[in-house]
Amino acid sequence: MSETTERLEARTHLATLATEQADPRYAGIETLSTLDLARTMNDADASVPTAVAAVLPQVAAAIDAVAERLARGGRLRYVGAGTAGRMAVMDAAECPPTFSTDPELVKAILAGGKAAEGGAVEGTEDDAAAGIAAIAADGIGPDDAVVGLAASGRTPFVVAAVKEARRRGALTVGLSCNTGTLLSEAAEHRIEVEVGPEVVAGSTRLKSGTAQKFVLNMISTISMVRLGKIYRNYMVDMRVANSKLAARAVRMIREITGADAEEAEAALTASGNHVKTAVVMIELGVDATEAGKRLEQAEGRLAAALQV
């Protein structure tokens, strides 16, 4: 098949996708007042949670599978291009400060590399060979989980990367905003969030981007809950890196243990700014060393460490 034929088929396929359609409800938006246009966009965005809710069983199944790989020492990789890829970069970047994870645990593989994080790098999303090479370069294997993101569900870089990851035995998830996509065919777990046409036709940074962010929030957060990174609904594994987070840490310790501010602050300092250790110290009346041992024996799970 010639390159010209491939491009023609790609254009024809794109024209059939729901996310590429021009919705007549939004015709003439340039004539609306700013307030009316804001209301129109807000109304459109309000449909996203319903679309995500429709695929929660698939989301949950994928998360359980991801968490199982992480629990046995694997890594989580997001693969994306453009808007989807940049959202993946953001979600991955938030895991170390929020959950004290190793920076290598959750990372994003973005078409175009770091240069694409701040803007478009033309043509990279169409490079299937680069997607395969990126998976190989990262040494993806059977213990790892790879989540491919593409609103269209057909981005060559992403589809090829997911296929290669699956060939290597990794868990694979395809997250798209259309149905019956190439990405879904490539992945073991298929998440298709049907958001429909965008307010600005084809601008998938809008509803599609919002839907993908919703699902990424669930994948990273719930996986960390399953790994014991959350206690009750507190982010007890967060890194205490500034005064705001120090105040949050003291508040968490007080609310969990019932300690006063002075005791909570003293325990946090003695623990080396580690919330879990400080909680164990106060609750069990032990020093930081003993609290650390109990947490290690409990594989970092605070609830288990508190059981005497």
Q: What are phi and psi of 79, to 5 degrees?
A: -125, 125
Q: Are residues 266 and 246 in contact, defined by beta-carbon separation less than 8 angstroms?
A: no
Q: State the CB neighbour count (10 A cutoff) for residue 270.
A: 16
Alpha helices (H) in 145-206, listed in sequence order: 156-167, 182-186
CA dihedral 172, 177, 181, 182 (to 10 degrees): -50
| Residue closest to 145 by CA, chosen among 167, 107, 173, 104 | 173
Cα-based distances in Å from 291 to 31, 101, 266, 303? 64, 20, 14, 13
| Residue closest to 195 by CA, chosen among 55, 28, 33, 37 | 55
**Residue type at position 132:** I
In whole angstroms, what is the distance from residue 292 CA to residue 284 CA? 12
Is residue 94 part of the annotated active site? The answer reads yes
Which residue of the set 68, 94, 117, 263 is catalytic?
A: 94
Is residue 283 part of the annotated active site? The answer reads no
Distance from the Cα of residue 40 to its chain's centroid: 27
Instruction: Give catalytic residue positions.
Output: 94, 125
